[in-house]
Amino acid sequence: MNNSYVNRSIKCTVNNCSHNNETEHYCSLETIKVGTHESNPTVCQCTDCQSFELKQGCGCK
């Protein structure tokens, strides 16, 4: 994935995401989808970036 594009409207510090531009700490997507894993979210931790894709070769499981 070419993530040299920087969307200055979407900050990102998740270096394990393939859409992260690590140099500038922004997302390289035009848009993202935010969702939840809870039926009734009440705190920030209940939300997820559903556009997340694990970067290949990052050593993550």
Give yes or no for residue 41 having a pLDDT over 70.
yes
Rounded average pLDDT over 33-43: 94
Split at pLDDT 50, 70, 90, the class of 4 is confident
User: Quick count: other Cβ atoms within 10 Å of Cβ 28?
Assistant: 19
Q: Which residues on adjacent β-strands are paired with residue 36?
A: 47
Q: What is the mean pLDDT of residues 9-28?
A: 94
In terms of residue numbers, what domain contains 26? 7-49
Residue 16 lies in a domain: yes
pTM of the predicted model as reported, rounded to 2 decimal places: 0.79
Indicate the number of domains in the chain: 1
Residue 15 lies in a domain: yes
Confidence of residue 37 (pLDDT cuts 50, 70, 90): very high
Phi, psi of 46, deg, nearest 5? -85, -10
Q: Flag whether 61 is in a domain.
A: no
pLDDT above 60 for 26: yes
